[in-house]
Amino acid sequence: MAVPLAFFGVFFAYPVTAIVGRGLKTDAGWQLGRIGEVLAEPGIAGVLWFTVWQALASTVLTLLVALPAAYVFARLDFPGKQVLRAVVTIPFVLPTVVVGTAFLALVGRGGLTEELWGVRLDTTVWAILLAHVFFNYAVVVRTVGGLWAQLDPRQEEAARVLGAGRLAAWRQVTLPALAPAVAAAAVMVFLFTFTSFGVVQILGGPAYATLEVEVYRQTAQLLDLSTAAVLTLVQFAAVAGILAVHAWTVRRRERALRLVDPALTAHRPRGAGQRLLLGGVLLTVALLIVLPLGVLVERSFDTPGGHGTGYYEALAQAGSGGGTFLVPPLEAVGNSLEYALAATGIALLVGGLAAAALTRRAGPFVRGFDALLMLPLGVSAVTVGFGFLITLDEPPLDLRTSWILVPLAQALVGVPFVVRTMLPVLRAVDERLREAAAVLGASPLRAWREVDLPLVRRALLVAAGFAFAVSLGEFGATVFIARADRPTLPVAVARLLGRAGDLNYGQAMALSTVLMLVCAAALLVLERLRPDKTSGEF
Amino acid sequence: MSTTTRRLAATALATALGTAALSACGGGSGDGSAAEDSGKPAQKTVTLVSHDSFAVTDAVIKEFEQQSGYTVQVLKSGDAGTALNQEILTKGSPRGDVFFGVDNTLLSRALDNGIFTAYEAKGLDTVKPEFVLDAQHRVTPVDSGDICVNYDKAYFADKGIAPPQTLDDLAKPEYKDLLVVENAATSSPGLGFLLATVGKYGEEGWKDYWAKLKANGVEVVDGWEQAYNERFSGSAGGRKAKGDRPLVVSYASSPPVEVLYAEPQPAEAPTGVATGTCFRQTEFAGLLKGAKNEAGGKALIDFMIGKKFQEDMPLKMFVNPVVKDAQLPELFTKHGAVVEKPETVAPDTIAKNREQWVKTWTSLVVK
């Protein structure tokens, strides 16, 4: 517990407190009056209202669209299922700077919706909502679908044998078992959309702003730290509230469920209804996810002289003369992989220890700690980044110009995923095994190695995969701290998009495609390593 | 937080971090970059902090390193505003020795916060005097560029109408629904264009002008990337994205960039510049207060206004040199626009009114 606590204390709580303190504390003491002042500003109420309702709407819409898919992925067998499950997860780990561009091609000017129905959704709230569905689809499919696949269908069958109708059996048996997972997924989606930044900036146009966008604007552009601090606190309070709900749903879910091997519950689609459902889900995935990603790939090959690999060749050559990158863009792939590996190492260490600590102990303090580990997902990257700047500035912690800062920041986002994935599995380990090992004279470390490790090895790999993928796509914090000579993939893409010219734009698309492939490869490996019986929430 | 508490916190963490770093290196990802950080004595490295658009040819930097004996390290962090704000936050304990990238729209914020040490660069006499905006030499002008409306040549040729030339033109009916601009609150070209209208129509008159632009169908998007790569029909990205706006706020140097980064390079740039719509931006470098390597920082600033660096900038950062005798590359003279009378607003006036102007603009145009 000491290591995760120290990690979060120094790399999260301390920087964030310091930057909020800088905004609210003057020589005359704390300026708590600013809270009332800022909240009373006319624009702020609008921002708050928009933040809340778009998150609610996004969450409902995501559930509506993704729940049928959760069922299909859980209970139906069809060719290409594994690949498709990896594909729907790609948006979740791609940087918004890339996806926003692709998504515009679907609902923006000249996009599919305009061609078919003359409807253009860019700069409307619909574009934001649809993009949120696009990004969070996988959260529902994986969280709900993961559990659904492990629910024993025989329980529902038993209810029917006892005379319950089909609907009644589902409502009384499956739904209650599923409800906590649905609630947890909803909370996650709400959290991600509540703190939405890139999607709202790129697709919403300047008329829409969430709290997160406003914090960024006040901090990075206006340097109005006191307003930013108040908004950070408001967001903090909201996120803490969401996490409290989350902790509650998690606890409720921890009642015993009879879980079975997912391979036994899935079957080939039977009957017209199931085939129709499968078709509908496949069509949704094709339109909503594959199509925007496809546009990205298509543009990366769309050179002036017809379709070809020109941009990819340019990527391999560019930078030999120095300039924007100081390294060839393809070296950014190497940088990204190295950073992501380091971040994964840190996230596994910190998250693994935290999960282990959470398994052994119980009580309100531990539950609070559980929620605390999720907080970095809800705090603005600019707050953390600026906090790093003003706190990690003295030896032995003058890390501001060190390469380690990037993986540290990425690990902050990775740890919650590690904890969420490992915790259910670790909790399922029979305590008596550990006790037996202890009785036989094993040290705690040895007991962990001999008992826990073999059981959680696969969950550990899944967690590693997620931490890795999330680190790979992390942009917000990285952009502030990446060293010029070692840009990551998303940073390199953003730099290319920041310049005029065909080659720059084409290379940005090509590099995005490379990022997508790296993500997809990581996720496919992950699919192969999926534990048979119990898997985490993701 | 006091230094003692800070030390305590730091020591408490040392163990944790040590383990983390070890595991990271064990993963094969340490890759010698740590050695790069500590391998050389600090005073031999000179660190330049800048924004994401900073770029220089390797050979030019190498030449400086050979001449001076220093190794150059570059830190880039976000856009111009973000990078400057980070320097203000780390005032007194800067991450580097020289900061490059504060422009005349943000100059007063930098000077008022006192992040720079005055230094009169060697060779400052070669810089055109109109760019030297700080008499105390806390900052040294390095480059200048113009934010201007760009137009899609093909569009106006097809329609048989002349492209607009001036700000007045943009409000005329024949250019209705054609212009896309950036949000002045979040984008530096967006702010530059707002300031161009302030420069032209005065501190009150600009509001009427924007009311006319709004009535004429001006569209606002958040950043340059969206405006230029998505909406503008004349850019390479915009053509692919089926951009439908033939007028966009960009830079006077954008047409040469469209030529440079095309394969094969066209004989003529696909876009042109409305030279009567421009705001002149000047970028400065300054020696950071508390710099660990002051001598190196001074040498670097001297080098930045030297001919070699000045003549390298146009094709790397797409800006104009500020020294008298620097030659522009042919690409610039052939495809770039010469802006005779750019609009300007004094840095003090900008500093005093920026927030209010942007707020008023937002309520006038965006909401």
Which residues on B lie below 8 Å from A7 (Cβ)? 13, 16, 20
- Per-residue pLDDT band at A92 (split at 50, 70, 90): confident
Inter-chain CB proximity A105 and B241 less than 8 Å: yes
* Tokens at A305, concatenated: 């002289």
Q: What's the DSSP call for residue A448?
A: I
- Residue A39's alpha-carbon distances to A215, A499, B149, in angstroms, are 13, 38, 38
The span from the CA of A538 to the CA of A372, in Å, is 19
3-class SS of residue A320? coil
Q: Is the pLDDT of residue A63 over 60?
A: yes
pLDDT at A144 over 50: yes
Cα pseudo-dihedral A519, A524, A528, A532, rounded to 10: 80
State the smallest CA–CA distance between residue B163 and chain A in angstroms: 20
Is A429 exposed, middle or buried, given 0-12, 13-18 or 19+ CB atoms closer than 10 A? middle
Closest CA to A238 of A387, A61, A36, A48: A48
The one-digit pLDDT tens for each residue of chain B (367 residues) are 444 444 444 444 443 444 444 333 333 333 333 334 444 444 589 999 998 888 888 899 999 999 999 999 888 877 888 889 989 988 888 989 999 999 999 898 999 999 999 999 999 999 999 999 999 999 999 999 999 999 999 999 999 999 999 999 999 999 999 999 999 988 889 999 999 999 999 999 999 999 999 999 999 988 898 899 888 999 988 888 788 899 999 999 999 999 988 878 899 999 999 999 999 999 999 999 999 999 999 999 999 999 999 999 998 889 999 999 999 999 999 998 889 999 999 988 998 998 899 989 989 998 7
Q: What is the pLDDT of residues A319-358, one digit of tens each?
A: 544 444 445 677 788 888 889 899 999 999 999 888 888 8
Name A243's Cβ contacts closer than 8 Å, sequence gap at least 6. Answer: A187, A191, A371, A374, A375, A378
Cβ contact B88:B65 at 8 Å: no
Please, are residues A38 and A227 in contact by the beta-carbon 8 Å criterion?
Answer: yes
Of A14, A342, A389, the CB nearest to B90: A389
Distances (CA, A) of A301 to A306, A331, A495: 8, 21, 20
Between A463 and A278, whose confidence is greater?
A278
Compare CB distances from B225 to A204, A397, A497 and report the shortest one's residue: A497
CA distances from A285 to A98, A134, A141 (A): 19, 9, 12
Whole-number CA gyration radius for chain B: 23
Structural tokens at position A396? 């032995």
Cβ <8 Å between A206 and B34: no
Is a pLDDT exceeding 80 seen at residue A160? yes
Domain holding A149: CATH number?
1.10.3720.10
Whether residue A186 lies inside any domain: the answer is yes
Please give the structure tokens belonging to residue A427.
Answer: 């909790």
Provide the token pair at B1. 């937080």
Euclidean distance between the first and the last CA atom of chain B, given in angstroms as a whole number: 42
Provide the residue range defining the domain that includes A485.
2-23+37-299+310-529
Domain count for chain A: 1
Residue A162 in any domain: the answer is yes
d(CA A372, CA A352): 15
Whether pLDDT at A229 is above 70: yes
Copy the structure tokens of residue A31.
């300026």
Residue A253: pLDDT band (50, 70, 90) is low
Residue A259's DSSP bridge partners are A151
**How far B161 CA sits from the closest chain A CA (Å)?**
24
* A:B CB pairs within 8 Å: 236
A189 sits in which H/E element = helix A175-194
pLDDT digits (tens, 9 = 90+) for A10-34: 889 999 999 999 888 877 777 778 8
What phi and psi values does residue B45 have, to the nearest 5 degrees?
-105, 135
Mean pLDDT of A425-438: 76
Residue A95 and residue A516: Cα distance in Å, rounded? 10
pLDDT of residue B15: 39
pLDDT tens for residues A439-459?
888 887 887 777 777 767 767
Q: Is the pLDDT of residue A461 over 90?
A: no
Above 90 in pLDDT, residue A499?
no
Measured CA to CA in angstroms, residue A319 lies from A147, A325, A492 at distances of 48, 6, 12
State the DSSP string of A121-139.
-TTSHHHHHHHHHHHHHHH
DSSP at B51: -
Output the pLDDT for position A258. 61
Q: Which pLDDT score is estimated for A259?
A: 65
What six digits make up the tokens of B101? 């990238």
Q: Please check the confidence at residue A480 and state whether its pLDDT lies above 80.
A: no
pLDDT at A492 over 80: yes
Tell whether omega for the bond before A153 is within 30 degrees of 0, i.e. cis.
no
Structure tokens at A136: 């969070």
Q: How far is CA A366 from CA A44, A409, A428, B331, in A?
A: 35, 24, 18, 65
Does the structure show a pLDDT above 80 at A478? no
Instruction: Please state, for a pLDDT cut of 90, what percent of chain A lies above it.
Output: 10
- Does residue A28 sit within a domain? no
Residues of chain B positioned with their CB less than 8 A from the CB of A222: 355
Q: Minimal Cα–Cα distance from A118 to chain B, Å? A: 15
Assigned domain for A112 exists: yes
What is the predicted pLDDT for the residue at B39?
43
CA distances from A279 to A84, A214, A269, A292 (A): 14, 41, 10, 19
Question: DSSP for B217-272?
Answer: T-EEESSHIIIIIIIBTTSHHHHHTT--BSEEEEETTHHHHHHHTSSSPPSS-SEE
For residue B235, the distance in angstroms to the closest alpha carbon of chain A comes to 7
Cβ neighbours of residue A27 under 8 Å, at least 6 residues apart?
Answer: none
| CA A484 to each of CA A263, A487, B66, B72: distance values in angstroms, whole numbers, following the listed order | 48, 6, 21, 11
Nearest neighbour of A346 by CB, restricted to B24, B57, B75: B24
Q: Which of A5, A114, A502 to mutate to test the interface with B (most CBs of B within 10 A)?
A: A502
Q: A202, B55: Cβ pair inside 8 Å? A: no
DSSP, collapsed to helix, strand or coil, labels residue B356 as: helix
Q: Are A303 and B236 in contact (CB under 8 A)?
A: no
Beta-carbon contacts of residue A49 (< 8 Å; ≥ 6 apart): none
**Which are the contacts of B359, defined by CB distance < 8 A and separation ≥ 6?**
none
Contact check, Cβ <8 Å, A109/B93? no
- For residue A355, which phi and psi values (nearest 5 degrees)? -65, -40
The closest of A521, A499, A475 to A318, measured between CA atoms, is A499
Is the Cβ pair A322, B56 closer than 8 Å? yes
Across chain A, mean pLDDT equals 80
Q: What would the two tokens of residue B213 be?
A: 């632009």
The secondary structure element, H or E, covering residue B276 is strand B271-288
- B2/A148 Cα distance (integer angstroms): 53
Rounded-to-integer distance, Cα B325 and Cα A440, Å:
85
Nearest residue on chain A to B226, alpha-carbon basis: A202
Predicted interface score ipTM higher than 0.90: no
- Nearest CA to B152 among A38, A437, A500, A40? A500
| Domain annotation covers residue A105 | yes
Sign of CA dihedral A314, B314, A331, A94: negative
Separation of alpha carbons A221 and B182, rounded Å:
15
Higher pLDDT, A472 or A276: A276
The reply to whether A30 falls in a domain is: no
Best B5, B77, B228, B363 residue to mutate vs chain A (most A CBs within 10 Å): B77
Residues of A in contact with B1 (CB under 8 A): 18, 391
Whether A477 and A381 have beta carbons less than 8 Å apart is answered as: yes
What structural domains does chain B harbor?
12-144+282-332 (3.40.190.10), 146-280+338-360 (3.40.190.10)
Q: Flag whether pLDDT at A256 surpasses 60.
A: no
Which tokens hold the place of B232?
A: 């503008």
Contacts of A20 (CB under 8 A, 6+ apart): A229, A232, A233, A383
The closest alpha carbon to A209, from B106, B362, B335, belongs to B362
Give the up-direction half-sphere exposure of residue A349: CA atoms within 13 A in the CB hemisphere: 27
Residue A304 belongs to a domain: no
A537 lies in some domain? no
Determine the length of chain B.
367
Pick among B8, B74, B89 to test the A interface (most A CBs inside 10 A): B89
Residue A56: per-residue pLDDT: 95
- Residue A174 CA: distances (Å) to CA of A140, A157, A159, A165, A269: 17, 10, 10, 13, 19
